[in-house]
Chain A
Amino acid sequence: MTREIAVIAFAQTDHRRSTEESSEVELLMPVLHDVLAQTGLKTADIGFTCSGSSDYLAGRAFSFTLTLDGVGAWPPLSESHVEMDGAWALYEAWTKLLTGDADTALVYSYGKCSPGSVRDVLTRQLDPYYVAPLWPDSIALAALQAQALIDAGHTDEPALAAVGARSRADAEANPHAQLRGRVPQGDYAVRPLRTGDCPPVGDGAAAVILAAGERARRLCARPAWIRGIDHRIEAHGLGVRDLTDSPSARLAAERAGAFERPVDTAELHAPFTAQEVILRRAFRLGDDVRVNPSGGALAANPLMAAGLIRIGEAAARIHRGASDRALAHATSGPCLQQNLVAVLEGDPR
Chain B
Amino acid sequence: MPEVLRAPLVVEFPFTRSLGPVQSAFLTGLRERVVLGVRTTDGRILVPPVEYDPGTAEEIHDLVEVAPTGTVTTWAWNHAPRRGQPLGSPFAWVLVRLDGADTALLHALDAPGPDAVSTGMRVRIRWAEERTGAITDIACFEPYDGEPQRPDGHTGEFEDPLTGIVAPARLDYTYSPGRAQSAYIDALSERHTVGERCPSCRKVYVPPRGACPTCGVATSERVEVGPRGTVTTFCIVNIKARNLDIEVPYVYAHIALDGADLALHARIGGIPYDQVRMGLRVEPVWAEGARFPDHYRPTGEPDAPYETYKELL
A residues near B, CB below 8 A?
Answer: 20-26, 29, 32-33, 43, 56, 59-60, 66, 68-75, 114-117, 119-121, 123-124, 128-137, 140-141, 143-148, 151, 188, 190-193, 235-240, 243
Judging by beta carbons under 8 Å apart, are A21 and B178 in contact? yes
Q: Name the one of B23, B84, B172, B178 contacting A22, with C-beta atoms under 8 angstroms.
A: B178
Point out the residues of chain A lying under 8 angstroms from B103, CB to CB.
237, 239-240
Judging by beta carbons under 8 Å apart, are B85 and A237 in contact? no
Judging by beta carbons under 8 Å apart, are A134 and B171 in contact? no
13 contacts between A and B (CB under 8 A): A21-B176, A23-B181, A69-B209, A72-B215, A75-B214, A114-B174, A115-B174, A134-B135, A135-B85, A136-B93, A148-B119, A190-B93, A191-B79
Point out the residues of chain A lying under 8 angstroms from B174, CB to CB.
20, 114-116
B223 contacts chain A at the CB level, 8 A cutoff = no
A240–chain B nearest beta-carbon distance, Å: 5
List 16 other contacts, CB 8 Å, given A115-B175, A140-B78, A191-B76: A23-B210, A24-B178, A26-B210, A60-B9, A123-B84, A129-B19, A131-B106, A134-B108, A134-B136, A140-B93, A141-B93, A143-B77, A144-B106, A188-B79, A190-B78, A239-B104
Judging by beta carbons under 8 Å apart, are B211 and A69 in contact? yes
Q: Name the one of B17, B107, B136 contacting A128, with C-beta atoms under 8 angstroms.
A: B17
Q: Known: A59-B11, A130-B106. Is A124-B210 also a contact (CB below 8 A)?
A: no
| Cα separation A310 to B103 with both chains bound (whole Å) | 33
Nearest chain-B residue to A66 (Cβ)?
B209
Judging by beta carbons under 8 Å apart, are A129 and B17 in contact? yes
Nearest chain-B residue to A234 (Cβ)?
B54
Judging by beta carbons under 8 Å apart, are A72 and B213 in contact? yes
Judging by beta carbons under 8 Å apart, are A32 and B209 in contact? no
B45–chain A nearest beta-carbon distance, Å: 12
Judging by beta carbons under 8 Å apart, are A191 and B77 in contact? yes
Point out the residues of chain B lying under 8 angstroms from A135, CB to CB.
82-85
Nearest chain-B residue to A137 (Cβ)?
B82
Interface Cβ pair total, 8 Å cutoff = 190
Judging by beta carbons under 8 Å apart, are A69 and B82 in contact? no
B50 contacts chain A at the CB level, 8 A cutoff = yes
Q: Name the one of B1, B73, B134, B171 contacting A239, with C-beta atoms under 8 angstroms.
A: B73
Point out the residues of chain B lying under 8 angstroms from A114, CB to CB.
174
User: Interface 1/0s, chain B 165-198, versus A by CB < 8 A?
Assistant: 1010101111111111110000000000000000
B146–chain A nearest beta-carbon distance, Å: 23
Judging by beta carbons under 8 Å apart, are B173 and A59 in contact? yes
B214–chain A nearest beta-carbon distance, Å: 5
| B214-271 interface (Cβ within 8 A of A) | 214-218
Point out the residues of chain B lying under 8 angstroms from A115, CB to CB.
9, 173-176
Nearest chain-A residue to B182 (Cβ)?
A21
| Cα separation A143 to B85 with both chains bound (whole Å) | 16
Q: Name the one of B77, B104, B135, B216 contacting A188, with C-beta atoms under 8 angstroms.
A: B77
Point out the residues of chain B lying under 8 angstroms from A72, CB to CB.
212-216
Judging by beta carbons under 8 Å apart, are A134 and B85 in contact? yes
Point out the residues of chain A lying under 8 angstroms from B179, CB to CB.
21-23, 26
Determine the main DSSP class of B at the interface with A: mixed
B48 contacts chain A at the CB level, 8 A cutoff = yes
A46–chain B nearest beta-carbon distance, Å: 10
Point out the residues of chain A lying under 8 angstroms from B176, CB to CB.
20-21, 115
Q: Name the one of A24, A59, A74, A190 contacting B213, with C-beta atoms under 8 angstroms.
A: A74
**Closest 6 interchain pairs by CB?**
A23-B178, A72-B216, A239-B104, A143-B76, A235-B54, A135-B84
User: Interface 1/0s, chain B 105-135, versus A by CB < 8 A?
Assistant: 1111000001000010000000000000011
Point out the residues of chain A lying under 8 angstroms from B86, CB to CB.
134
Nearest chain-A residue to B174 (Cβ)?
A115
Judging by beta carbons under 8 Å apart, are B76 and A69 in contact? no
| Cα separation A141 to B107 with both chains bound (whole Å) | 11
| B25-60 interface (Cβ within 8 A of A) | 27, 46-48, 50, 54-55
| Cα separation A70 to B211 with both chains bound (whole Å) | 6
Nearest chain-B residue to A32 (Cβ)?
B216
Q: Known: A59-B11, A69-B212, A74-B213. Is A239-B97 also a contact (CB below 8 A)?
A: yes
B34–chain A nearest beta-carbon distance, Å: 16
| Cα separation A73 to B209 with both chains bound (whole Å) | 14
A203–chain B nearest beta-carbon distance, Å: 11
Judging by beta carbons under 8 Å apart, are B213 and A73 in contact? yes
Judging by beta carbons under 8 Å apart, are B167 and A144 in contact? no
| B134-182 interface (Cβ within 8 A of A) | 134-136, 165, 167, 169, 171-182
| Cα separation A121 to B171 with both chains bound (whole Å) | 7
Nearest chain-A residue to B169 (Cβ)?
A124
Nearest chain-A residue to B48 (Cβ)?
A130
B176–chain A nearest beta-carbon distance, Å: 4
Nearest chain-A residue to B15 (Cβ)?
A128
| Cα separation A240 to B108 with both chains bound (whole Å) | 18
A248–chain B nearest beta-carbon distance, Å: 12
| Cα separation A143 to B95 with both chains bound (whole Å) | 12
**Of B76, B103, B178, most A-chain CB atoms within 10 Å:** B76
Q: Name the one of A33, A70, A119, A124 contacting B82, with C-beta atoms under 8 angstroms.
A: A119
B296 contacts chain A at the CB level, 8 A cutoff = no
Judging by beta carbons under 8 Å apart, are B11 and A133 in contact? no
Q: Known: A21-B178, A130-B135. Is A239-B11 also a contact (CB below 8 A)?
A: no
B299 contacts chain A at the CB level, 8 A cutoff = no
Point out the residues of chain A lying under 8 angstroms from B290, CB to CB.
none
| Cα separation A78 to B309 with both chains bound (whole Å) | 29
Point out the residues of chain A lying under 8 angstroms from B210, CB to CB.
23, 25-26, 29, 69
